[in-house]
Amino acid sequence: MDATKVCEGNEDTRGVRRRVQGSDKGRPVQVTNISASTVCQETRSPTRKLSRSNSGLRLKPVVQAGRPGQPTRSVPTTWFQHNEEGPPLTYKMEVNLLLWLLVGVGFAVRFWKLDCPRNIIFDEVHFGKFASYYLQRTFFFDVHPPLGKLLFAGIGYLAGYDGSFLFPSIGVEFPFMVPYIAMRGASALCGSLLIPCVYSIMLELGFSHRAALLAGFFTIFENSLVLQSRVIMLDSFLILFTYLSLLCFLKFYHQRHAPFSPSWHKWLAYTGLALGLMLGVKYSGLLGLGCVGLLTLCDLWQLLADKAIDVTELALHVLLRGVYLLGIPLLMNIIIFYVHFLVLNQAGPGNSFVSLPFRNSLQGSVETPLIELSSNATLIRYNSNFTLRSTDVSCWLHSHDHLYPLKYADGRGSSYQQQVTCYDFKDPNNAWTIRKPAGTNDSSISEDIGVVRNGDEVEVVHLLSGKLLNSHDVAAPLSPTLQEVAGYINYSAAFVPHVHWKVSVVGLKDGDPVYWEPGRLRLKLHHTFSKQALACTGKRLPEWAFQQYEVVTDKAVEGSQTIWTMEDLQVVRGDNKTRDEEEAIKKEWISQKQANQNVEFTVSDSYSFLEKYLEIQHHMLTAHGSLGDHAFGTPPHNWPLLSKTLPYWLDETSNSQVTLMGNPLLWWAGCGGVALFLLLSAVYALASKRLVYIIQPAEFEGWLTRGGVLVGCWLVHFLPYFLLSRVLFLHHYLPSLPCQLMLLAALCDHLHIWTNTLPPVLRMLYPLLVILFCVCVVASFLVFAPFTYGFPSLSVEQIKWRHWIETWDLLFHMTASS
């Protein structure tokens, strides 16, 4: 049995030899029951890279040596030959003991004292609440996609929790029924699985086992990653899925020698799957998608140069990658949202965020589903009071006793008439009266209570102030190209009132009677004089209008900003005569409708899934921008050097606290690592440009690509935050952190070659230095562990001692200090 026959290519053989050699020397890889075939298959790619990367080291001469124990002399004839055939039903296995040890420690570090503290920490207040909402099936709205929260809810469901605890505020103690340990356990599990994931990525990238172990080690003792794995938050999921997608992609990349083979498809599909999971948790996963996308482009760029691949095959490559890497995540996203809507079928706190038809699809919403011309349908008569709600912006048409400022800050003048705005809240000032045009400017009430028909010209009176809704050729306060809308005040000046509006109901013909059903009547008000339509621009007016929304008339009458929903209606009830009249109109209307089925009267009862899906995506995108400011929000430039911390929780009585902060030693070394990587790359590049090779050109290329991938991933996960204007927190940095740790580990391994020129004694010193660094990392982890675990409680002096950087936010009770 010869290894060279089993393995393809020469390099692999070298790998095997090295491997065996290594195990003899007690190197970190434990190989039991050596079988050439398993070794070759399991370790093909990593060892090939390994052997190349270490060719500068003193292991190089070993290549010529034979297998250990294999005699070079001819073997004397033996009578009793071994049967070469293996025993039936055997299972050969290989156990990477160090890896298992690593994973074990990782689990221990993350699961230790998971129940502590028994209080709601930071954003658990949100995500726990969302889980409760899922269990209660009440509709809510959040900026993050549902998968992570569904997972928490699923755990709660399995643990028999009914979702009755609403996670009121940070610091509140969990009642017994809340399975918060199990929920945190999901986070901790993902956080722990990150460690083998990081290990494998290092191997897939072609780094040595040593470097991979080191990277895993750093990941274990990184306070921020530990903390984030111990709370009911989404980041732990996000980070795991991000690196899982990277790992799957690298596995897929190593299948490039056999394109379109089953395992090629398998790993590509897994990558898509991991991306889908990642995007199902948080949309910041788009950065992870970008990362894989860039690697895919590089992959394709390489394929492009390969003339053996013809154009159709190239197109197939592109197409399949597109389908797997974009199609699968999209499909998963749709499925996840489908489940989301399926679960959340009851009206709840999210109602106010979504449109009326959406709400109507939820059980128990205020707006009951309607049958055409149900008993709810009310014929609108003149002198009825109503409120109008903008469909685009969630606000009501409003006016109040204040005038537009005489001059705006930019020098333009206004009409100085009563403000008409759009207000976010219910208010008596939202009430308006519809009435027949009086023909004069006076606001005395015309007594006519006839039926309002579509296309009628009407006047709209503000109920409390009696001012008429007016629009005129004055530039609107914020949108100078649009006309101002005001409550008309007769200054007997040059401002002629233009107070007539044409009612135009969506889906009705002129002359049709206008029926109102709760929240169902959508109409436009066309300004008769200017032919423009009443619209809400969605811009917030300044202080003088109490930051309500701007209302204008808009030339673009077809836009959705001009559609208003009549929310409430108080009809003037007439006598029997009017009731008879109503009945007659109703009959006429129904018969007319039956005669002409094409006329749409009500909005379709069922709001389709796709409409819901698109609407919620729209709300999620726009809601990100409107997140408020936060006291502990930190801009991105403060992240890498850990100049800020993020307090999560402080106990009410003691100084035990949970604060998000990294292991400072690792963070600073990580940044140093990036700098050193760039510096070394620059040195190598400068030298090789002058044809001086500090390391072999092939090795240099490998160094650049592997390190480049890590630095690139780090940047892709970090830089885009500089462009975001919303409030950001330190934990947004965490997805990029493992890249830095991996790079640091790789550097620790790589720097070894710089010791080659030193005398052997000093050369021995280098591993010791690395070990010393590792010890320091653990020490620094332990120093800050009380902030990670919320245990034990520290005294003020101890906290102050840990206050290494002035700008860190570490909390303690003032009273305890004196």
Partner 1 sequence: MASPEEREPQSEDYHSNSDSPVTKTPDLGVPSSSHYCGRLYSSPLNDSDVAYYVGLAVITLASIATRLYKIDEPYHVAWDETHFGKHASWYIQGRFFFDVHPPLGKLIIAVAGVLTGYNGSFEFEEPGQQYKDTPYVGMRVACAVLGLLVVPLGYLTVWELVRSTTAALLAGVMLLCETGTLVLSQYILLDPPLIFFIMAASFCTARFINCRNEPFDMEWWYWLSLSGMFIGCAFSVKWVGLFVIALVGLTTLKDLWDLWGDLTLTMKVIAQHFLARVLCLIIWPAVIYMTIFAFHLMVLSNSGNGDGFFSSEFQSMLVGNELYDHKVPEFVAYGSVVTLKNNRGGGGLLHSHSHLYPEEYGNIQQQQVTAYTHKDDNNRWLVKRHNHTEPEEDGQTVLTHGDWVVLEHTTTQRNLHSHALKAPMTATHYQVTCYGEDGAGDANDVWEVEVVGGVSGDPVRTVASKIRLRHVNVGCYLHSHSTQLPKWGWEQLEVTCNPRRLDKNNLWNVEGNLNDAMPMVSFDFYKPSFLSRFLESHIVMAESNSNMKPKEGEITSQPWHWPINYQGQHFSGGDYRVYLLGNPVVFWSCGVLFLLFLMILVGKLLVDQRGLEYSPVLRDTLDCLLSGGGWLLLGWFLHYLPFYLMGRVLYFHHYFPALMFSIMLAGTVLEFAVSFFTSLFPYPLQGTVYHTALAVLISLIIGSFVMFSPLAYGMNGPKADVPNSSYSGLKWLQSWDI
Q: Which of 75, 406, 691, 761 binds partner 1 (CB under 8 A)?
A: 691
Q: Residue 115 or 306: which CB sits closer to partner 1?
A: 306
DSSP output for 451-511: B-BTT-EEEEEETTT-PBEEEEEEE-SS-TTSEEEEE----SSS------EEEEETT--TT
Amino acid letter, residue 653:
T
**What CA–CA distance (Å, rounded) separates 1 from 67?**
12
CB of 243 to partner 1, least distance (A): 28
CB of 810 to partner 1, least distance (A): 9
Residue 814 engages partner 1 in binding (rule: CB under 8 A): yes
- First-last CA distance in the chain: 78
Q: Residue 477 or 707: which CB sits closer to partner 1?
A: 477
Q: Residue 450 or 542: which CB sits closer to partner 1?
A: 542
Q: Residue 65 or 685: which CB sits closer to partner 1?
A: 685
Tokens found for residue 77 = 């004839």
Segment interacting with partner 1, rule: CB under 8 A, options 8-16, 30-38, 477-485, 730-738: 477-485
Q: Residue 349 or 542: which CB sits closer to partner 1?
A: 542
Q: Which of 491, 693, 722, 804 binds partner 1 (CB under 8 A)?
A: 722
Residue 723 engages partner 1 in binding (rule: CB under 8 A): yes
Q: Residue 478 or 770: which CB sits closer to partner 1?
A: 478
Tokens found for residue 346 = 């009851």
CB of 659 to partner 1, least distance (A): 12
**What CA–CA distance (Å, rounded) separates 291 from 427?**
49
Q: Whose CA is closest to 123, among 183, 194, 176?
A: 183
CB of 304 to partner 1, least distance (A): 5
Q: Please answer whether residues 291 and 713 qualify as being in contact, where contact means their C-beta atoms are separated by less than 8 angstroms.
A: yes
Taking CB under 8 A as the rule, which mask of x and - marks residues 426-465 in contact with partner 1? ----------------------------------------
E strand or H helix at 249, and its extent? helix 235-253
Tokens found for residue 36 = 């050439």
Q: At what angle do helices 697-718 and 36-53 cross, to 10 degrees?
A: 90
Q: Which of 80, 91, 176, 301 binds partner 1 (CB under 8 A)?
A: 301
E strand or H helix at 108, and its extent? helix 97-111
Q: Residue 576 or 818: which CB sits closer to partner 1?
A: 818
**What CA–CA distance (Å, rounded) separates 510 from 456?**
8
How far is CA 366 from its chain centroid? Answer: 31
Q: Whose CA is closest to 378, among 629, 627, 100, 578?
A: 578
Q: Residue 494 or 761: which CB sits closer to partner 1?
A: 494
DSSP state of 82: P
CB of 629 to partner 1, least distance (A): 9
Segment interacting with partner 1, rule: CB under 8 A, options 58-66, 420-428, 475-483, 736-744: 475-483
Taking CB under 8 A as the rule, which mask of x and - marks residues 478-507 in contact with partner 1? x-xx--------------------------
Taking CB under 8 A as the rule, which mask of x and - marks residues 541-560 in contact with partner 1? -xx-----------------
Number of residues that make up the chain: 818
CB of 303 to partner 1, least distance (A): 10
| Window 622-641: residues binding partner 1 (CB under 8 A) | 631-632
Q: Please answer whether residues 381 and 574 qualify as being in contact, where contact means their C-beta atoms are separated by less than 8 angstroms.
A: yes
Residue 577 engages partner 1 in binding (rule: CB under 8 A): no
CB of 494 to partner 1, least distance (A): 17
Residue 1 engages partner 1 in binding (rule: CB under 8 A): no
How far is CA 579 from its chain centroid? Answer: 56
C-alpha distances in Å from residue 130, one per residue of 347, 359, 457, 481: 14, 18, 48, 43
Cβ contacts of 412 within 8 Å, gap of 6 or more: 475, 480
Residue 817 engages partner 1 in binding (rule: CB under 8 A): yes
Q: What angle do CA 142, 144, 148 make, to 5 degrees?
A: 110
- At 757, is the secondary structure helix, strand, or coil? coil
Q: Residue 434 or 482: which CB sits closer to partner 1?
A: 482
| Window 150-179: residues binding partner 1 (CB under 8 A) | none
Report the 10 Å Cβ neighbour count for 667.
24
Residue 686 engages partner 1 in binding (rule: CB under 8 A): yes
Residue 806 engages partner 1 in binding (rule: CB under 8 A): yes
CB of 512 to partner 1, least distance (A): 33
C-alpha distances in Å from residue 591, one per residue of 504, 595, 602: 22, 6, 16
Residue 305 engages partner 1 in binding (rule: CB under 8 A): yes
Q: Residue 309 or 438: which CB sits closer to partner 1?
A: 309
Taking CB under 8 A as the rule, which mask of x and - marks residues 378-417 in contact with partner 1? ------------------------------xxxx------
CB of 631 to partner 1, least distance (A): 3
Segment interacting with partner 1, rule: CB under 8 A, options 152-160, 300-308, 353-361, 596-604: 300-308
Residue 689 engages partner 1 in binding (rule: CB under 8 A): yes
Q: Whose CA is closest to 274, among 238, 300, 307?
A: 238
Q: Residue 442 or 543: which CB sits closer to partner 1?
A: 543
CB of 809 to partner 1, least distance (A): 6
Cβ contacts of 718 within 8 Å, gap of 6 or more: 636, 639, 640, 733, 736
Q: What angle do CA 472, 474, 480 make, to 5 degrees?
A: 130
Q: What angle do CA 306, 307, 311 make, to 5 degrees?
A: 100
- Specify the residue for token string 């409430």: 568
Q: How many residues bind partner 1 (CB under 8 A)?
A: 27
Q: Residue 257 or 307: which CB sits closer to partner 1?
A: 307
Contacts with partner 1 by CB under 8 A lie at 301, 304-305, 307, 408-411, 477-478, 480-481, 542-543, 631-632, 686, 689-691, 722-723, 806, 809, 814, 817-818
